[in-house]
Amino acid sequence: MELTLAIAIGILFGSGVWLILRPRTFQVIVGLCLMSYGVNLFIFSMGRLRMGAAPILTKGAEIDPSRYSDPVPQALVLTAIVISFATTALFLVVLLASRGFTGTDHVDGKEREQ
Amino acid sequence: MSLALIVALPFLGAFLPGLMIRSGRNACAVSAGAITSLALVMLGLHAPAVLRGEVIQTRIDWLPQLGLNANFFLDGLGLLFAGLILGIGLLIILYARFYLDRRDPMGQFYTYLLLFQGAMVGIVLSDNILLLLVFWELTSLSSFLLIGYWKHLPEGRQGARMALTVTGMGGLAMIAGMLILGQIVGSYDLSVILQNKEAIQASDWYLPALILILLGAFTKSAQFPFHFWLPHAMAAPTPVSAYLHSATMVKAGLFLMARLWPVLAGTPEWFYIVATTGLVTMVVAAKIALFKDDLKALLAFSTVSHLGLITMLLGFGTQAAATVAVFHIINHATFKAALFMVAGIVDHSTHTRDLKLLGGLRRAMPITFAITTIAALSMAGIPPLNGFLSKELMLEEASHTVWAGIPWLLPVLATIGALFSVAYSFRFLGHTFLGQPRSQLDHPHDPSVGLWGAPAFLTLLVVLIGLFPMLSAAWLIDAAASAVTGEAVAVNIYHWHGFTAAFWMSVIAILGGFVLLMLHAPLNRLWLATPRPEAKRIFDGIVEPLAALARGLTQRLHDGALTRYFAIATVAIVAAGFAAFLGGAHSPGLRPETPVEIVPLIGWFLLIASAAAIVSFHRNRLLALVLVGVIGLIVSVGFAYLAAPDLALTQISVEVVTVILLLLALNFVPKTTPFESTRLRRGRDGVIATLAGLGSGALIYALMMRDSAFPSISGYHLANAKTEGGGTNVVNVILVDFRGYDTFGEIVVLGIAALVIFALTEAILRAGPANDRLLTWVQDQRDAGDRHPLMLVVATRMVLPVAIMVGVYIFLRGHNEPGGGFIAGLVVAIALVMQYMASGFAWTEARQRVDYHALIAAGVLIAGAAGVGAWFTGTAFLTSDFGYVTLPPLAPFELATAMIFDAGVFLTVLGAVMLALASISRIALRAGEKVNTAPYDTDLPDGEVR
């Protein structure tokens, strides 16, 4: 499973970088979305993988930390997901503003000879 | 604590004038004055103890590992300087109130002034040289703001820049010198350094440290050859000149030399560098001052000259000379501040400061004339005023100091300096007030008491110290000089010393100065005929090429091509990662691979296929969005599979909102992307993207196959979630309890992001090019023009209460089961967004009772209040408490204060998401959305379409 997940993260990250390197604003935002998936999965995986061991404690039982998956990266990623939403929304408005003020959706704010 | 408070007070109070200006100029000035007075009173409370010889200390650990502590101490020298800074500061505040024009932004002025004052007080009270350096740089920055206060004047801006460049460079050198000093002694505390004279002077590093520190002091105190910035700083408003160049900024260099005098002085190196520099500065600047026609330029060079005099005295390295230096610091501050203010008054009432145009003002401005006479005569060193006392003592010291084996050199040059000083002082007085007016002046008159009050008070001090030096100043000089020299000093100042060498030197200076002034006209012609180095041109000649070089480099590196920056950054990061992995030591990956099951594998294929499809078909933007949605869905399912139910819930709800947002925005950009990159460019990007993907994938794989190098902190969170946080959902407990402070910061950021989105939308919708483009927006796809389906409208309205109920449920169970404020906020937001989608913006907005801004504010405030609540139980911010409540007929349930915090999170998330969506919807409305503009209700008569 580790290898599969690592490949997925690599592909998400690589695709994100590719899109961010495109010269149009829309692609940059889509690229950022893909990159944030990759980054979130990356941080999450830092806690090492475990299936079926959600960090929800069983009531009344003795707590054995080794029986649960790592909750700290999960808490980090939860906030990261919400913040990346905020960033995406912010960039969207920046995109609209840039398009509105310059009349182009090129990332440099002007059409450029390639 | 009180010393730190004296330093902090001007900084804290700096905001007041900026706010009080709304209540008028008087309130503004009074607020600045009140702050300064308060600091002065607090200083005064310490004065009796300091004068008894005690040293007051305040120690606050800041970064003890670096030796950087907020330590302050107050001894005689600190008391003298802090008193000058705050006392003259108070007079300047009074003067500036009446000096500044109605059009000048007075709030800004007092804010800058207080910032500067705080930095100066910080320098003189610091007991830690690193802290002193911080304040030192702060004076450079705040004086930059003050000198450039009249932003519309190019001279003001250039003068400010020159002052900042010169003093800033000196400051940099001084940092190095101070660090060396700290290394020699092994401590950065001044009180420790001052005990280590032998160690410092014996060190090989003594000379480098001395030179570097003196560079800082000389640039600040405008010593030759760095004196040229000071006259250019005269473009500042006169109150600034009076403050910076009489009592504060330029005296900071002197203060530093006096402060470090016990450990640095007394060596031949010190004598030859400091005394010579001071001597040259004194003579050269006094000569230039005589030939300056601008009142303020004359005073500027005179200041440079007097600073040289004090530097020279400190350079002599004897206790007696240092004591005279302290005395002259006091005297110079009194008469020079008064004279600067007089220059401002003359400028104010005659609209010129040119000595070639002024003259004969004694009748029109008698009060100003009286003030000037006393102050100028003191500057000239005429008995019995205070300038005479210290100058006589200076000549006395110079008369028996031998320079490089030549006994006559110092006395002769000191006499020449004094002679010029007499000449320009008389010229200042005579050419302004005596004789006949040299041009038609527009009704010169004495100003109101507000303007002449401050200089009059200072001249009163000039007379008092002059007549009764033992009564009015000796106690302060004793305390300060004892602090400088490290030995108890008891001065005995009197007017008549008999027919000593100093007496004859003084007589020569006064008579010679008088003769020189008589010969001013021919001498001035000679002066104008001889070539002189123009400091500003030389300075510009050095700075301009450097600036051009920096500009060229910046423009080359920052050519505005975003993709290029990103490509360079990515390559650099990937290279650094590979280098670190290959160069560093790490254990082999020995963790067992988790088995792969078939269903997750199918999801994995879907994800990879979608990503590949986005890369291939990203030009079709709608398709790209759909694929992003697919990937998001798989990621959330993946989180659920990998034992992270909270993440799964969050990801899926964020996914919905993000896709809706992206769809809304897609409406305003072209639906397809042109095919524009060259093959080469795409090849390059492909390589970079592949490297980045490979790097990140390989890195996380390597990490997952190894155990962490340090024991994880997760065990603690798992073990204590129930007992300390009162919840069984450990992720939620971490968010609202263990790491509640982080979460608090995060919701603040979220709220700010939403507000920025709102503000940007406002900017787009304001009249301008963006708005014009929206109004003339032509869809590149034809609208269907249909109203929204009735079924959807009805369904969403029926679902709304249910959805909100679900949200509440998710919120309430969050502490123990997957859920919580973040997810609940997103779920409720989706329910509301559905209303926008189904019934249109107008309908929904008309029914919206609570403002989204208010939701964000309420959320942050509630979360903050939950945190502050912990203070009342004597615990730290955001410590939570919980207990069990029994409410018949319900089963006992648990209530934690963390729930209140989580409610704040809930409201902020809801408000932020809705504000972002509503803002972008408003753009759609402006662009002329044709359907659903009017409220769409189910009870419309048949066939009626709005």
Q: Which residue of B has its CA nearest to A4?
A: B604
SS (H, E, C) B280-346: HHHHHHHHHHHCCCEHHHHHHHHHHHHHHHHHHHHHHCCHHHHHHHHHHHHHHHHHHHHHHHHHHHH
Q: Which amino acid is at B679?
A: R
Tokens representing B349? 């009432």
Pairing of strands B882-885, B56-63: unpaired
- List all residues of chain A from 68 to 87 with a beta carbon under 8 Å from chain B: 68-72, 74-75, 77-79, 81-87
Q: From chain A, pick out residues whose CB is under 8 angstroms from the CB of B620.
A: none
DSSP, res B729: B
Do the Cβ atoms of B624 and A30 come closer than 8 Å? yes
Bridge partner list, B69: B61
Pairs from B880-883 (Cβ < 8 Å, separation ≥ 24) = B880/B725, B880/B726, B880/B736, B880/B737, B880/B740, B882/B725, B882/B726
Closest CA to B395 of B421, B424, B427, B423: B421
Domain boundaries defined on chain A:
2-47+70-102
Tokens describing residue B291? 């030939």
pTM for the complete prediction?
0.73
Distance of CA B779 to the CA centre of its chain: 48
How far is the C-alpha of B433 from the C-alpha of B377, rounded, in Å?
A: 13
The distance from CA A2 to its chain's CA centroid, rounded to whole angstroms, is 19
Give the whole-angstrom CA distance, residue B879 versus residue B890: 28
Tokens of B251: 């005296």
Closest to B250 (Cα-Cα) out of B376, B159, B148, B139: B139
User: What gap in Å lies between CA B819 and CA B247, rounded to an integer?
Assistant: 64
Answer yes or no: do B657 and A13 touch at CB < 8 A: no
Quick one: CA dihedral B544, B549, B551, B552, positive or negative? Answer: positive
Structure-block tokens of residue B818: 């997957």
Q: How far is A74 from chain B (nearest CA, A)?
A: 7
Spatial CB neighbours of B702, under 8 Å, sequence gap ≥ 6: B581, B586, B589
Of A50, A59, A89, the CB nearest to B753: A89
Q: Mutation test of the interface with chain A: which of B718, B765, B826, choosing the one with the most A Cβ atoms within 10 A?
A: B718
CB contact under 8 A, B700 and A5: yes
Percent of chain B past pLDDT 70, that is, above it, reads 96
Low-confidence ranges of chain B (pLDDT < 70): 1, 779-785, 890-894, 928-946
Task: Spell out which residues of chain B touch residue A44, defining contact as CB-CB under 8 Å.
Answer: 639, 642, 644, 647
Question: How far apart are the C-alpha atoms of B34 and B230, rounded to whole Å?
Answer: 30
Contacts of B651 in chain A (CB under 8 A): 40, 81
Under DSSP, is residue B697 helix (H, G, I), strand (E, B) or coil? helix
Closest CA to B831 of B796, B790, B859, B856: B796
Buried/exposed B69-105: b ≥16 CB within 10 Å, e otherwise? bbbbbbbbbbbbbbbbbbbbbbbbbbbbbbbbeeeee
Q: What is the pLDDT of residues A67-81, one digit of tens each?
A: 888 899 999 999 999
Backbone angles phi, psi at B334, to 5 degrees: -70, -55
> Domain ranges in chain B?
730-946
- Chain B residues touching residue A37 (CB < 8 angstroms): 631-632, 635
Closest among A8, A82, A58 to B693, alpha carbons compared = A8
Cβ of residue A32 closer than 8 Å to a chain B Cβ: no
Return phi, psi of residue B56, to 5°: -90, 135
* Cβ proximity of B699 and B580 under 8 Å: no
Neighbour count for residue A27 (Cβ, 10 Å): 22
CB B631 within 8 A of CB B611: yes
Residues of chain B positioned with their CB less than 8 A from the CB of A28: 562
How many beta carbons lie within 10 A of that of residue B58, not counting itself? 18
What's the distance, Cα to Cα, between the start and end of chain A in Å?
Answer: 42
The answer to whether B505 and B422 have CB atoms below 8 angstroms apart is no
**What is the rounded average pLDDT for all residues in chain B?**
87
> Could you tell me which of B142, B113, B131 has the C-alpha nearest to residue B3?
B131
Q: Is A10 within 8 Å of chain B by CB?
A: yes
Return the CATH number of A2-47+70-102, one of 2.60.40, 3.50.50, 1.20.1070, 1.10.287: 1.10.287
A111 and B CB contact within 8 Å: no
Q: Which long-range contacts (CB under 8 A, 24 or more apart) does B770-776 make?
A: B770/A97, B770/A100, B770/A101, B771/A100, B771/B926, B773/A99, B773/A100, B773/A103, B774/A100, B774/B668, B774/B923, B774/B926, B774/B927, B775/B926, B775/B927, B775/B928
The position carrying tokens 């160049």 is: B245
DSSP string over B366-428: HHHHHHHHHHHHHHHT-TTSHHHHHHHHHHHHHHT--BTTBTTHHHHHHHHHHHHHHHHHHHH
What are the structure tokens assigned to B905, written together? 């999170």
Interface residue of A19, A43, A51, A56 to substitute, partner B, most B CBs within 10 Å: A56
pLDDT on residue B946: 47
Mutate to test the interface with B, among A3, A7, A15 (most CBs of B within 10 A): A15
By Cβ distance, the residue of B719, B764, B822 closest to A82 is B822
DSSP B624-664: HHHHHHHHHHHHHHHHHHTT-HHHHHHHHHHHHHHHHHHHH
Residue type, B424: Y
Nearest to B31 by CA among B48, B61, B9, B50: B9
CA atoms of B135 and B78, how far apart (whole Å): 14
Q: Which tokens go with B659?
A: 């896709």
Report whether B174 contacts B215 (CB < 8 A): yes
Q: What is the DSSP string of A9-49?
A: HHHHHHHHHHHHTSSBHHHHHHHHHHHHHHHHHHHHHTT--
Cβ B562–A95 below 8 Å, yes or no? no
To the nearest whole Å, the CA of B872 is away from the closest chain A CA by 28
Name the burial class of residue A45, with classes exposed (0-12), middle (13-18) and buried (19+) by CB atoms within 10 angstroms of its CB: buried
Touching check for A30 and chain B: CB below 8 Å? Answer: yes
Sign of CA dihedral B716, B719, B720, B721: positive
Cross-strand pairs, B620: B672
Q: Which amino acid is at B624?
A: A
Residue of A nearest to B634 (CA): A37
State phi, psi for B802 to the nearest 5 degrees: -65, -45
Cβ atoms of A97 and B764 closer than 8 Å: yes
**Largest Cα–Cα separation, chain B:** 119
Residue B233's nearest CA partner among B145, B169, B308 is: B145
DSSP letter for each residue of B106-151: HHHHHHHHHHHHHHHHHHHHBSBHHHHHHHHHHHHHHHHHHHT-ST
Q: Which of B902, B891, B677 minimizes the C-alpha distance to B810? A: B902
DSSP state of B221: T
Task: Note the Cα B375 to chain centre separation in Å.
Answer: 37
Cβ-defined contact of B718 to A94 (cutoff 8 Å) = no
Label residue B462 exposed, middle or buried (CB < 10 Å: 0-12, 13-18, 19+). Answer: buried
* Type of residue at B56: I
C-beta of residue B281 within 8 angstroms of C-beta of residue B224: yes
| Token pair of B19 as six digits | 């706010």
Residue B551 C-beta-side C-alpha neighbours within 13 Å = 6
B672 touches chain A (CB under 8 A): no
